[in-house]
Amino acid sequence: MNDPSNTSEEIYDIGLFEAAGIELEYMIVDSMNLDVLPICDSVLHEISGTYENEVYPDGESGFSAWSNELALHVIEFKSLKPVTDLNNTGGLFQKEVSYANSILKKYNARLLPTAMHPWMNPEREFKIWPHGNREIYNTFDRIFGCRGHGWSNLQSMHINLPFMNNDEFVKLHTAIRILLPMINALSASSPFIEGRFSGFYDTRVEVYRTNSIIIPSITGKIIPEPVTGIDDYRDHILNRIYSDLEKYDPERIISYEWVNARGCIARFERGTIEIRTSDIQECPGADIACARLIIEVLKKLVNEDISSFEEQINADTESLYKILISVITNGTSAVIDDTGFLRIFGLKNRCSAAEFWEKMAELYFSDSGEDSIFLSNIFKHGNLSERILRSAGKTPSKKQLFSVYNNLSLCLSEGIQYIP
């Protein structure tokens, strides 16, 4: 196989929860009508003078990299190095947003948050990155057909968490797997598709979970299978994907660990597990607040403060998947009544998804600063999808949608939450 994944004997530099890596994705849109504008290559060219997939606004020793993957109207900001303290990271990403918006002004464009564009038609508007790595992107397009929402209309926050060795990998993977079904109750921001309410509070995850249906092993159930180690992960997840891909990708152009599309994936090349399910919020501060709460709950699971490793690893994948589907369908109103699942988090009684996260914050998140305010607003006013729906309604006109998403763009530029 092409994949350079390491074996269970590999030792990495950074241990559990010593740092984190954050990636935030935004849409580039026309300033006047908010239609998607496929000009990310021009923006990156403004920084480097070349058409590269990844550029460094403050040099390779700076805070961030800007990049593009696949869809030409999407730009990604990511921390270049592991961040040991996320407290001030929202402000650092906000500076990247401001800088990008200043560049976009000359193109009569701006950044738009949320996990899906509310009226984009991918068949008409999607453009693929036309420069470096074209062989990879063209292979994805040839196999899966990327002119669908599940490929071309997705924006998310990725959280990369490190592990130092095989033992830490298993503990971290097991904990993330357990929490994955609940993350989108906190972060959902994608209620609309092609101008209408989709019926889901997290439409992004709904379209994402079927975007690789021609090769089901790539996405699985979003919730990854339990594994006992790095070698087990490679044998039962990665190698199965590579085997299933061989018919479609005989040259093994995309047979690497990053083709795995589960809700969290191992990145052995850098010694992290990447959480990929969280919808992007309306401003970086809200994303970082969500990330910090997620990480604090994961710490409690990994340390076995609230449940044993055995309880966690024995959680049934299908049961976790059912909770995920309920959450993306019903938002914070989803009823969590799986007693085994609740017990893992130290909860005794059935609760709503909203009550779950409020309890997690009460028990495990002690910060009283800005992140606490961001989270309190989510608990009080609902996740971003619920706030968007409260403003626009479930059958909005194009004018109503424009008004709401124009305000969301302003929230991003000002670094504030959207509270209708």
Read off the pLDDT of residues 249-301 as tens digits, 9 standing for 90 and up. Answer: 999 999 999 999 999 999 999 999 999 999 999 999 999 999 999 999 999 99
Q: Are 327 and 353 in contact (CB under 8 A)?
A: yes
Tell whether the model's pLDDT for residue 389 goes beyond 70.
yes
Please give the average per-residue pLDDT across 25-36, as a whole number: 98
Indicate the SS3 state at residue 374.
Answer: helix
Q: How far apart are CA 322 and CA 316, in angstroms?
A: 10
Per-residue pLDDT, 133:
85
Per-residue pLDDT, 134:
87
Q: Are 221 and 277 in contact (CB under 8 A)?
A: no
Which residues neighbour 92 within 8 Å (Cβ) at sequence distance 6 or greater? 63, 64, 79
pLDDT bin (cut points 50, 70, 90) of residue 5 is very low
Per-residue pLDDT, 260:
97
* 21-414 is a CATH 3.30.590.20 domain: yes
pTM for this model (two decimals): 0.96
Beta strands per DSSP E along 238-377: 264-267, 272-279, 335-336, 351-352
Beta strands per DSSP E along 333-388: 335-336, 351-352
251-275 as b/e: b if 16+ CB within 10 A: eebbbbbebbbbbbbbbbeebbbbb
Sort residue 47 into left (φ over 0), alpha (ψ -120 to 50) or beta: alpha
pLDDT bin (cut points 50, 70, 90) of residue 1 is very low
Q: How confident is the prediction for the chain on average, in pLDDT?
A: 95
Q: How far apart are CA 386 and CA 200, in angstroms?
A: 10
pLDDT bin (cut points 50, 70, 90) of residue 2 is very low
The Cα-based distances of 306 to 151, 297, 303, 314 in angstroms read: 37, 10, 8, 15
Question: 10 Å Cβ neighbour count for 303?
Answer: 12
- Positive or negative torsion for Cα 208, 209, 213, 216: positive
Which residues neighbour 397 within 8 Å (Cβ) at sequence distance 6 or greater? none
Please give the average per-residue pLDDT across 76-99, as a whole number: 96
Indicate the SS3 state at residue 365.
Answer: coil
User: CA geometry: angle at 117 spanning 111 and 119, to 5°?
Assistant: 125
Q: Are 323 and 178 in contact (CB under 8 A)?
A: no
pLDDT bin (cut points 50, 70, 90) of residue 9 is low
Per-residue pLDDT, 366:
86
Tell whether the model's pLDDT for residue 382 goes beyond 50.
yes
Residue linked to tokens 């397009």? 141
**Most distant CA pair in the chain, distance:** 58
Per-residue pLDDT, 7:
53
